[in-house]
Structure 1
Amino acid sequence: MQGSRYPALYQLNTRVFLTALSQSLGRAATLDDIADAELDRLSGMGFDWLWLLSVWQTGEAAQRISRSNPAWRREFEHTLPDLREEDIAGSGFAIKDYRVHRDLGGDAALARLRSRMRQRGLRLMLDFVPNHMALDHPWTDERPDCFVHASEADLARAPQNHCRLNTKNGPLLLAHGRDPYFDGWPDTLQLDYGNAHLQASMLAELERIAGQCDGVRCDMAMLIVPEVFERTWGIRAEAFWPRAIDTVRRSQSDFLFMAEIYWDMEWTLQQQGFDYAYDKRLYDRLHEQRARPVREHLCADMGYQDKLARFLENHDEPRAAAAFAPGVHPAAAVLTYLSPGLRFFHQGQFEGRRIRISPHLVRGPDEAVDGALERFYGHLLDVLRLPALRDGRWSLRDCLPAWDGNPSSDNFIAFDWEGADGERVLVAVNYAPQPSQCFVRLPFPQLAGSVLRLSDLLGTAVYDRPGDDLLSRGLFLDLPPWGHHAFDLQRIA
């Protein structure tokens, strides 16, 4: 299935979506109940990918921990003041079996949904969690060598990172899955990538997943990179990703791998075969609300930028409407989604939801829709459907001082897209809390002797400018705090 160079992805919180659907249907909903009209809506909005979060089978052990962990429970009660026990199903990342959860309709329901998606040009992405498994995964009985074992001294020194587990073969001391900078996840067990048999088993799981979807989002992908794994566990491991990705691609050449990645390891994972890596650095710089670091980030090589997944929120991050002030949010969205790379949106983002929903929960709170934000995102998605922004050529543009002694040009970030048919869109953002002015350099020789019409695709502004003036001085912009334009450039004379 051939897609665009710069695709758009929509992340659906599957269990939360189906809980809401169950309430409206008056019965338990499964993947079969995701209506064709909903798939038509997503396809019509310009999405190429649908990521179904948390479809795999979870178990009772993780659910018990989710329901009894005091810190987690306080978070859940903050999210849902009317919290009920059945709202806490256990983390979708504490996986007991890579088969579709029986409550969601099982593997057969997923296959039917995927078929309906394909009829609409939508590709399916699912989760792959390479670092850990649920406490009650069958391998604890059948293959205990797959996990990182611990000693009594380890348990005494860091009880939050280890557990005693009763299995069919007797009690074991095992390590919880973890990020080296934080305490372990108490509903998981750490997989041992120093074990060649474990690597082969995880590759087999990945191949089976790949037979059910078109791509995977790989949770905390950097944790099993050999140098990270050895630093965390003191265990030497062979590289997993290059071999795994190559193996899957031998049978499915266009299968897509997206890495959740931090610690500036994006390039490392791209070099190991990933199509896309999370661009957390851009997100952080936008959150700092300073233009220059954002602009410097966008100066990176295109081979790197083209393989970044750009987002303003996901299930791990705060909601964008809560993290970014109302004036800042649209400006940050313009810079995130009109830049090159994979455009990654999250369920509830368009409506301005403000409360993050933990992946342990299967119900979300009722929230009012932010109509202004919803309209903004509608316009933004219209822009993203333009051929120039899906398959065109992107260039960062210089912003020069409007007059001597005015440093506010440093607050601007400007770039343009050129389509195969000459279509051109110019994007400019004043990413600052004060009014700013600049001249945007437009080195387009074809402007000579012309008159150019600039129509803002995100607003109502329309300007006619002599091409010779634009060539000699550039486009003058005077924008309010967080002001932005996405100009369609048309030669009218």
Structure 2
Amino acid sequence: MNTHTPRYPALYEVNARILLRQLARIAGRRLTLDDVPDTWIAKIAECGFSWVYLMGVWETGEAALRVSRSNEQWLTGYRGLLPDLSEEDICGSPFAVTGYSLHPDLGEPEELTRFRERLHGEGFRLMLDFVPNHTAPDHPWVREHPDYYVHGTAEELARNPQEFTRVNQPGGSAVSAHGRDPYSGGWPDTLQLDYGNPALQDAMIAELRRIGGQCDGLRCDMAMLVLPEVFRRTWGREMEPFWPRAIDSVHREHPGLTFMAEVYWDLEWTLQEQGFDYTYDKRLYDRLRDGAARPVREHFWADLEYQNKSVRFIENHDEDRAASVFLPEQHRAAAVLGFLSPGLRFFHRGQFSGRHKKTPVHLCRDPEDPADPAVEEFYRRLVACLRLPAFRDGEWRLLDCNPAWEGNPSHDGYIAFAWERGGERFIVTVNYAPDRGQCYVPFPWADLAGKTVRLRDLIGEAVYGRDGAGLLSPGLFLDIPGWGRHVFEVRPEEG
């Protein structure tokens, strides 16, 4: 395995159940992880990814599956995507876990080890899920350790039937809480774990240590829900901090294991301080989606230590497809800003094809959704940029975008970065606004004075020669349409 981990790695998410079902339909037989072709892995490797996030590998049970196949609101959504929906298309949520072993539908447990070894052979690391907040209703702990769960009363069940349910236990039926967050009703295919119980925390740390031997990194689902202040707000009970002790314990056994947090509500820095290597950057996603440049630019004012641990994305299995959220040109501009900024770059299967239809995690078949060749070509060029050492391990800085002339406010729509490593230099410029705008971007390299500088756009066709002194002051003049973008390779030549 290639031991070099880029400072700014790229991750590729794939739904394991959908991938194997798709390959099985082509092969005409049931397939497991051992049957994933080497050519599939090699094709992903060509894109320069450092991580494969294999979503949905763990054991799930019949109880959650029954919920997924009977919830009428969910079924309506499924049928809207798959008009020919069959029961076999509904696998149940992969986040209603009954055990952290490979799901039998995906193969024998040893196949996960072999799949990881195959990824290592191509220089990948494997990321898997950990679900801290809840389990499936038929997890063994429900009967063996009922004290691990949050319970309620018959009155609470009658008053809030969407948040509680009756569960059969050895001593008789009991009222248990569904997993939830402080702002939404319960998730009916889950039961809530009680982090106020120290024994439960110990049991979850033991699970983490065991999972840590099966992968190189863990995406911790809704990680902020087990922060003491959030748990208190949700359930009105106290708990000792979990993540610092858990991460420290796991690292003693698996020193190199990477922790990535799915996190919202501006709690990213809190989880970074508690030991997470990476945290979701939902705030940047929201600002890119809203389409105003200034909040996006101000987002990049954050301390670089924080940004280096941020997970940049414009879609994933929880968010709608980027091609359906953003206008076509805005999609490309958002991708350039999100993926050519520092941090971990998170890509989702189907994103490179411009798919519009989001597949719920309860399904194991994608809807028909033809590829968009223009989107594919854009991502081909963008991914080629991400393979360059400067964007993987270089030094990044945010640049000024100054008015092109007095009284012209359109410079406020621009965002620009500089990247540099080992003499290689690049300028990223985006007019993140719907209308044409103008600005000057001063370059940060004083040694350009007295030289002619060749600018070649890596995501377009433009090639320019410019005087180095002029690039320093007043800067590179830009006059580009709404959502326009350039990624310029900067090559100085003697004057």
**Shorter-normalised TM range:** over 0.9
Are residues 1:218 and 2:220 paired?
yes
CA distance in 1, matches of 2:105, 2:370: 29
CA shift, 1:465, in A, is 0.4
State the 1:468 CA deviation: 1.2
Selected match of 1:323 from 322, 325, 329: 325
Q: Tell me which of 132, 135, 138 is aligned to 2:140.
A: 138
Q: Who is 2:474 aligned against?
A: 473
Structure-1-length-normalised TM-score? 0.99
SS in 2 for 1:159: coil
Match status 1:456 vs 2:457: yes
1: CA distance between counterparts of 2:355 and 2:324? 8
The number of aligned residues is 492
- CA-to-aligned-CA distance 1:149-188 (integer Å, 9 cap, x gap): 1011211121100000112332111000001100100000
**Bigger shift: residues 132-141 or 242-251:** 242-251
Paired residue type of 2:402: L
Distance of 1:164 and 1:483 partners within structure 2:
56
Give the alignment of 1:17-32 within 5 angstroms.
17-32=19-34
1:76 is aligned, of 78, 84, 89, to 78
Give the Cα–Cα distance (whole angstroms) in 1 for the partners of residues 249 and 168 of structure 2.
35
Q: Offset at 1:462?
A: 0.4
1:481 is paired with a residue of what secondary structure? coil
Q: Deviations over 1:216-236 (max 9, x none)?
A: 000000000001001110110
Aligned residue for 2:262? 260
Does the CA contact (< 8 Å) of 1:99 and 1:106 recur in 2? no
* d(CA) in 1 for partners of 2:32, 2:284: 36
SS of corresponding position for 1:492: strand
How far is the alpha carbon of 1:107 from its aligned partner?
1.6
Equivalent residue number for residue 430 of structure 1? 431
Aligned 1:39-118 pairs, distance under 5 A: 39-118=41-120
C-alpha separation in 1, matches of 2:43 and 2:313: 21
1:164 maps to 2:172: no
Provide Cα deviations, 1:74-121, integer angstroms capped at 9, x if missing partner: 111112111101111110000011111011003211011011111111
User: Do the aligned residues in 1 keep the contact of 2:58 with 2:101 (CA within 8 Å)?
Assistant: yes
Instruction: Give structure 2 stretches of 5+ with no counterpart.
Output: none
Counterpart CA distance in 2 for 1:443 and 1:336 is 22
Contact 2:293 2:412 in 1 (8 A): yes
Partner of 1:185: 187
1:479 CA drift (Å): 0.6
**Aligned AA (1:469):** G
The letter of the residue matching 2:383 is L
Cα pair 2:102 2:109 within 8 Å, conserved:
yes
Farther-moved stretch of structure 1 (444-453 vs 245-254): 245-254
Q: 1:377 aligns with which of 376, 379, 385?
A: 379
Deviations along 1:402-444, one digit per CA (max 9) or x if unpaired, are: 011100000000011011x111110000001100000001131
Distance across 2 between alignment mates of 1:268 and 1:208: 25
Measured in 1, the distance between the counterparts of 2:282 and 2:255 equals 27
Aligned to 1:299: 301
In structure 2, distance between residues paired with 1:24 and 1:168: 46
Aligned residues: CA RMSD: 0.7
Matched position secondary structure for 1:400: coil
Q: 1:283 aligns with which of 275, 282, 285?
A: 285
| SS at 1:334 equivalent | helix
| Structure 1 residue 248: Cα displacement | 1.1
Judge conservation of contact 2:332–2:378 (CA < 8 Å) in 1.
yes
1:448, distance to aligned residue in structure 2 (A): 1.1
Contact 2:209 2:253 in 1 (8 A): no
Amino acid in the other structure paired with 1:450: K
Structure 1 residues 184-241: Cα deviation after superposition (integer angstroms, max 9, x where no partner):
0000000000000000000111111100000000000000000100111011001110
Large movers: runs of 4+ above 2 Å: none
| Equivalent residues of 1:162, 1:174 under 8 A apart | yes
Q: Cα offset for 1:141?
A: 0.8
**Where in structure 2 are the equivalents of 1:341-490 lying within 5 Å?**
341-419=343-421, 421-490=422-491
Normalising by structure 2, report the TM-score: 0.99
Instruction: Quote the Cα distance in structure 2 between the aligned partners of 1:303 and 1:353.
Output: 33
Q: How many Å separate the matches in 2 of 1:216 and 1:390? A: 21
The answer to which of 75-84 and 427-436 deviates more is 75-84
How far, CA to CA, are the matches of 2:4 and 2:16 in structure 1? 26
Q: Alpha-carbon deviations, 1:320-372, whole Å to 9, x = none?
A: 00001111100000000000000000000000111101110011112111000
How many angstroms apart in 2 are the aligned matches of 1:8 and 1:394?
16
Distance 2:345 2:315 in 1: 11
How far apart, in 2, do the equivalents of 1:443 and 1:103 lie? 55
Distance in 1, Cα, partners of 2:67 & 2:473: 66
Contact 1:193/1:237 (8 A) holds in 2 = yes
Which secondary structure does the structure 1 equivalent of 2:434 belong to? coil
Q: Tell me if the contact between 2:416 and 2:430 (Cα under 8 Å) persists in the aligned partners.
A: yes
Q: CA shift at 1:463, angstroms? A: 0.5
* Deviation digits for residues 47-94 of structure 1 (CA, Å, limit 9, x no counterpart): 000000000011110010001101111111112111101111110000
Q: Which amino acid aligns with 1:206?
A: L
Work out the CA distance in 2 between the residues paired with 1:355 and 1:16. Answer: 14
Are the aligned partners of 1:141 and 1:169 in contact in 2 as well (CA < 8 Å)? no
Structure 1 residue 41: deviation in Å? Answer: 1.1
AA matched with 2:207: E
CA contact (8 A) 2:314 2:322 kept: yes
How far apart, in 1, do the equivalents of 2:402 and 2:473 lie? Answer: 12
Separation of aligned partners in 1, 2:287 and 2:209: 36
Matched residue, 1:230: 232
Aligned counterparts of 1:385 and 1:443: Cα–Cα separation in 2: 23
Aligned to 2:453, the other structure's residue is in SS state strand
Distance 2:214 2:486 in 1: 41
Residue 369 of structure 1 aligns with an amino acid whose one-letter code is A
- The answer to whether 1:34 aligns with 2:66 is no
Q: 1:272 aligns with which of 271, 274, 279?
A: 274
Q: Give the distance between the partners of 2:219 and 2:470, measured in 1 at CA.
A: 48
| Structure 1: runs of 5 or more not aligned | none
Q: Give the Cα–Cα distance (whole angstroms) in 2 for the partners of residues 252 and 391 of structure 1.
A: 25
